[in-house]
A and B are shown apart, each in its own frame.
Chain A
């Protein structure tokens, strides 16, 4: 069994080695002519403003949190799927309870708006997220 993963490791190592040979060739034939401007960060021709390490919105974090919960669910479900045929339909009922409890969580996050990417309503804007449209959708 272990040699299977050894093979996988060898695949990665050999790919690294062969591709690295390309880098050696590049080192030999490519020009090396570094200038101040060339080493600059690309910002569409403008001089870079500050650095690129920005603060990000918390919604990325929320998505990652919900993802981890469902990732663990997927791992459990993989276990169920393997024994499903062997243990019969009763395990489906068991797993259904498991899924239902997590679907409650999904529904909660959905209702509370944690799954919405755009959370604000544009007061005077037009289009999909304008306050008027959202109000219209809510009253419907």
Chain B
């Protein structure tokens, strides 16, 4: 059953990602992205990373996607032909994609993935992540706040310029 659900999630991710990439309707693409994000959250669940999965939903589905929708709503004449996206430079894109794919495959294929798995019992992740974050990676945590501050101020300034 778990395998079955895993393949359904896999299909959901691939199908919705394809819809995002190839869809002609911008807003459909945004909502298809929700399927991808939820599917990735499902994959995190299969990796026993429950906190990461829920964070994925909070930040990406509840935050980034709303931002994308609001961004689209900013566009004037959204319903007219400008809404559709067209594929430009298909051949160049294909070459780049094939190149990247080759690099990834040469890295992925030689490794014996199935043999290197050691099944582990699930233990709670939240406390572990928290402890690491507030002891070993404290500096990074504080730097993250500066990064967020920069993002906040930059975003607010950019948005104000357009007014």
- A residues engaging B (CB < 8 A)? 1-2, 5-6, 9, 51, 53-56, 58, 60-69, 71-76, 78-80, 82-83, 86-87, 91, 94-95, 97-98, 101-102, 104-106, 108-109, 112, 114, 119
Contacts and interface: CB of A to CB of B under 8 A. Distances in A.
Contact of B160 (A6, A83, A114): A114
B58 A61 contact: no
Contact of A69 (B45, B151, B160): B151
Interface in B55-99: 55, 58-59, 62-64, 66-67, 70-71, 73-79
A86 B131 CA distance: 9
Given A73-B145, A75-B58, A86-B127, 8 more contacts: A2-B2, A5-B42, A54-B73, A55-B78, A73-B148, A75-B55, A94-B134, A109-B156
B61 to A, nearest CB: 11
Given A67-B63, A75-B58, A104-B149, A61 B127 contact: no
B126 A72 contact: no
Contacts of A83: 127, 130-131, 134
B50 A1 contact: yes
B59 A72 contact: yes
B2 A112 contact: no
A89 to B, nearest CB: 12
Contacts of B141: 76, 94, 98
- Secondary structure at chain A's binding surface: helix, strand, loop or mixed? helix
Contact of B159 (A54, A73, A86, A114): A114
Contact of A64 (B70, B78, B149): B70
Nearest to B158: A65
Contacts, number: 146
Contacts of A68: 59, 63-64, 67
A5 B50 contact: yes
A71 B62 contact: yes
B7 interface: no
A56 B76 CA distance: 8
Nearest to B134: A91
Nearest to A6: B5
Given A75-B58, A82-B126, A98-B145, A112 B156 contact: yes
B100 interface: no
Nearest to B129: A79
Contacts of B53: 5
Interface string B106-144: 000000000000000010001101110111001001101
A119 B75 CA distance: 20
Contacts of B46: 2
Contacts of B130: 79-80, 82-83
Given A66-B156, A76-B141, A61 B67 contact: yes
